[in-house]
């Protein structure tokens, strides 16, 4: 055999080996796109995600994935299923899917032409203490007519130093106030009156983390188009050493000088921290509708003999006259007097005063007076101050 013949056989062997290697690589690449099938009709595009690229997520709390989709086709789409995959480190799509540490599904219902909507995963991803960068893949189980936008690859930072303040949205902080009037079940506040309200929240702070937050409230008109007033205080007294530990905290004192219907927005409006400030601003605020109505209506309901309310005659002596008054209005009356003038036909007269420190809406108060005159023609006259003399 000649040298030339040996070289020719050697080239053929190398060519066959290269072809087999290319075929094996191609098959391996196909296998790595794990569950995607081609193809379905239409064109749904992946246009975003929450959390987004390089966002931080807590190492010991579940993260739910929300995908933003656009049906860019002219026809309604069929129901589809999207899978999500998580792997450690920064990896390309096929490698990440093959090395996934967790996976789940997002169900996509039919979408109208041109519709843009968000859909959230059925189950969450639990890092279980992972403290590094992870890669997340969104991928439709069936590719459509344009497969280039059927996959999304993005990175997240799972960290043990995740800092997050989360406000409790399932509470009405007005419920913490006492002595309010109600109209058809709606609590009514008074203008030029100070109110101290507390709210509930949850803090996720590591032992070495520090958060300095701007805590306060904003008063907006009812449809939240115009801010009317605002007040903030700096605070750093959040619980540490636990994951989303619950707490209660007082808001800055609230007061407003005009009646009306408003939206009160409250919570954390800004923060700085070490190593991070609040890393999720979407859960820092809550709002309630408040009604300020300062109508005042104090009435004298009854005057009767103290010894027996059903009697018509009063006995002479101490504490023999009782007068019942009520606050039928929407605001608390403070520091006012109820006067009783007793007179007879001979021109004798005595005036006594009952000092009332406050009378809240829907409250009643009984004042007791002495009967200092006697006879058959005694006149009793009870007086409250005029409207312009009330102290609110």
Q: Convert the pLDDT of each residue in 140-168 to its tens digit.
A: 999 999 999 999 999 999 999 899 999 99
What pLDDT was estimated at residue 386? 61
What pLDDT band is residue 63 in, cutting at 50, 70 and 90?
very high
pTM (predicted TM-score):
0.67
Residue 302 has pLDDT above 70, yes or no: yes
Three-point CA angle 47, 50, 51, nearest 5°: 125
Note the pLDDT of residue 299. 86
User: Residue 206 is encoded by which pair of tokens?
Assistant: 């590591």
Domain with residues 37-159, CATH architecture: Sandwich (2.60)
pLDDT score, position 297: 79
Average pLDDT of 190-210? 90
Q: Output the pLDDT for position 65.
A: 98
User: Residue 243's pLDDT is what?
Assistant: 78
Q: Interior CA angle at 171 toward 237 and 58, to 5°?
A: 50
Delimit the domains of the chain by residue range: 37-159, 164-292, 298-389
Listed range (193-197, 206-210, 298-302, 369-373) with the worst mean pLDDT: 206-210
Specify the CATH architecture of the domain 298-389. Answer: Sandwich (2.60)
Handedness of CA 283, 239, 178, 269 (dihedral sign): negative
| Confidence class for position 219, pLDDT limits 50, 70, 90 | very high
3-state secondary structure 225-294: CCEEEEEEEEECCCCCCEEEEEEEEECCCECCCCCEEEEEEEEEEEEEEECCCCCCHHHCEEEEEEEECC
Strand order in the sheet with 151-159: 56-58, 151-159, 133-140, 80-88, 102-108
Task: Tell me if 37-159 shares its fold with 298-389.
Answer: yes
pLDDT at 252: 96
296 against 261, higher pLDDT: 261
* pLDDT mean across residues, the chain: 87
Residue 191 has pLDDT above 90, yes or no: no
pLDDT score for 16: 44
The pLDDT of residue 110 is 96
Instruction: Go through 281-290 and write b for each residue having 16 or more CB atoms within 10 A of its CB, e for each that does not.
Output: eebbebebeb
**Alpha-carbon distance 164 to 209, whole Å?**
11
Q: How far apart are CA 382 and CA 203, in angstroms?
A: 57
Q: What is the mean pLDDT of residues 288-304?
A: 89
Residue 63's contacts (CB-CB under 8 Å, 6 or more residues apart) are 51, 57, 124, 125, 127, 156
| pLDDT at position 17 over 50 | no
Per-residue pLDDT at 31: 41
Q: And the tokens for 268?
A: 């954390």
Distance of alpha carbon 205 from alpha carbon 163, whole angstroms: 5
Q: Which pLDDT belongs to residue 36?
A: 56
Nearest of 264, 195, 252 to residue 227 by alpha carbon: 264
% of the chain residues with pLDDT over 70: 88
Lowest mean pLDDT among 222-226, 234-238, 350-354: 234-238
Give the C-alpha distances (Å, rounded to integers) separating 243 from 126, 161, 166, 171.
14, 11, 11, 21
Which position has the higher pLDDT, 382 or 14? 382
Q: Which two tokens stand for residue 139?
A: 């991928």
Q: Is the peptide bond before 316 cis (omega within 30 degrees of 0)?
A: no
User: Each residue of 81-116: pLDDT tens digit?
Assistant: 999 999 999 999 999 999 999 999 999 999 999 999
Determine whether domain 164-292 maps to CATH 2.60.40.
yes
> Tokens for 184?
């058809």
| 329-385: pLDDT as tens digits | 888 888 899 999 999 988 899 999 999 998 988 899 999 999 999 888 899 999 887
* Residue 314 contacts residue 321 (beta carbons within 8 Å): yes
């Amino acid at each position: 055999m000649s040298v030339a013949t040996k070289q020719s056989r050697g080239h053929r062997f190398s060519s066959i080996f290269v072809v087999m290697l290319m075929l094996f690589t191609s098959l391996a690449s196909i296998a790595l796109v794990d569950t995607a099938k081609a193809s379905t009709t239409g064109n749904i595009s992946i246009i975003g995600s929450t959390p987004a690229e390089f966002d931080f997520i807590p190492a010991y709390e579940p993260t739910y994935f929300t995908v933003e989709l656009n049906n860019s086709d002219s026809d309604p789409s069929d129901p589809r299923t999207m899978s999500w995959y998580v792997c450690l480190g920064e990896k390309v799509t096929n490698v990440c899917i093959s090395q996934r540490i967790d996976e789940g599904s997002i169900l996509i219902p039919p979408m109208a032409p041109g519709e843009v909507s968000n859909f959230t995963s059925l189950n969450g991803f639990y890092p279980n203490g992972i403290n590094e960068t992870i890669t997340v893949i969104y991928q439709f189980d069936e590719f459509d007519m344009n497969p280039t936008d059927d996959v999304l690859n993005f990175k997240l930072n799972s960290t043990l130093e995740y800092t997050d303040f989360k406000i409790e949205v399932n509470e009405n902080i007005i419920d913490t106030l006492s002595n309010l009037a109600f109209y058809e079940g709606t609590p009514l506040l008074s203008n030029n009156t100070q109110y101290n309200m507390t709210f509930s929240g949850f803090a996720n702070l590591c032992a070495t983390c520090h958060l300095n937050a701007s805590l306060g409230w904003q008063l907006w008109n009812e449809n939240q188009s115009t801010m009317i007033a605002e007040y903030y205080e700096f605070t750093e007294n959040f619980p540490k050493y636990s994951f989303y530990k619950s707490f209660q905290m007082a808001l800055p004192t609230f007061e407003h000088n005009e009646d009306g219907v408003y939206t009160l927005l409250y919570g954390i409006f800004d923060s700085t921290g070490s190593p991070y400030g609040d890393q999720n601003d979407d859960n820092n605020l809550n709002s309630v509708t408040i009604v300020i109505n300062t109508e005042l209506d104090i009435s004298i309901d009854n005057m009767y003999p103290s010894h027996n309310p059903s009697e018509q005659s009063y006995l002479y002596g101490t504490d023999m006259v009782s007068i019942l008054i009520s606050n039928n209005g929407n605001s608390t009356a403070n520091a006012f007097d109820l006067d009783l003038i007793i007179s007879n036909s001979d021109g004798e007269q005595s005036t006594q005063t009952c000092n009332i420190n406050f009378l809240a809406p829907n409250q009643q108060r009984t004042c007791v007076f002495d009967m200092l005159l006697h006879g058959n023609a005694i006149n009793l006259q009870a007086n409250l101050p005029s409207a312009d003399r009330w102290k609110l």
